[in-house]
Amino acid sequence: MTSILTNNGAMVALQTLKSVNNNLEETQNQISTGKEVGMAKDNSAVWAISKSMESDIQAYQSVSDALDFGEATVAVASSGMEQIVETLKEMRELTVAGVSQNVDHDKIEADLDKKRDQINSIIGSATFNGANLLDNSVTPQLDVLGGLRLDGSDTITVTAIDTGANMDTTSIPALTNTNATTVLSEIEAMLAFAIDSAAQLGADSSRLSDQNDFVSKLTDSLKSGVSTMTDTNMEEASARLKALQTQQQLAVQSLTIANSAPSTLQQLFR
């Protein structure tokens, strides 16, 4: 039945056009923003999960900054201890030469004294932002945040070197023609301690570096996860846009045809 009061065909065509226009607007927004889920109303569950993951990403970026800071602090101490090892090796060479009776012990002692000062200078200056891991009286230990666990299980602790008790250069007696063996024994003990300490700092540095790499990879994985959940699939959106534009044109034509239907009734009354 055709009615001049109610045009059912036009109403159906209008509803179809409205639906197509809404879908088209949504697709255009997704393409322009790059986000399929940009607001809670788009998909509340996915939006909530993505925001939680984004919060974790920001937190892990702070963890990465802390690890970078810790690595730099340990690197300063490690470089200092490695230099101390080299200096003690030089002192050992000088002392070995001093075992002989027919050498100038005073000159050798002068060289040894300079190297004692050099060791003390290295220990005192191996400071990074107030932390000195070569002097446990200044910095007993360095706690570096390595994760997001609040119970402290992710904290990486770097213990400072007790150079005050084990590398007191004032305990090395002045070299004479009679005590070279004693001086050599003192230096060798310090050298062994310095080598062990340098190895410890190297292991601590490696631990921090490995954790930093892990945090970086974890952050990248979280970013990929958020992208998968919320970002627009541009290929799919492009195909959907073309289809919706075609549907819009057809819906407009359908509405035009439906609106023109009542005018044909005029021919029945001529």
What percent of the chain lies above the pLDDT cut of 70?
96
> Does 185 have pLDDT greater than 90?
yes
pLDDT tens-place string over residues 125-177: 999 999 999 999 999 999 999 998 877 788 999 999 999 999 999 999 999 88
Q: Helix crossing, 105-125 with 44-98: angle to 10°?
A: 170
- Tokens 């002192």 locate to 91
β-bridge pairing 141-145 and 155-159: antiparallel
Residue 109 and residue 103: Cα distance in Å, rounded? 11
Q: Detail the DSSP E strand segments found in 82-180.
A: 141-145, 155-159
Residue 88 scores a pLDDT above 80: yes
Domain ranges of the chain: 8-36+232-269, 45-230
Query: Which pLDDT does position 6 carry in this prediction?
Result: 73
Residue with tokens 């993951």: 53
**Count of helices and strands (H, E) across the chain:** 6, 2
Q: Which residues pair with 190 in a beta bridge?
A: none
d(CA 208, CA 200): 13
The reported pLDDT for the residue numbered 75 is 96
Domain topology for 45-230:
f41 fragment of flagellin, N-terminal domain (1.20.1330)
The predicted-structure confidence for 130-140, as pLDDT tens digits, reads as follows 999 999 999 99
User: Cα–Cα distance between 169 and 260 in angstroms, integer?
Assistant: 105
- Which ranges in 99-149 belong to alpha helices (H)? 105-125
- Whether the pLDDT of residue 248 is over 80: the answer is yes
Mean pLDDT of 199-207: 96
Task: Quote the pTM value.
Answer: 0.79
Q: Measured at the alpha carbon of residue 107, what is the angle toward residues 101 and 111, in degrees to the nearest 5? A: 120
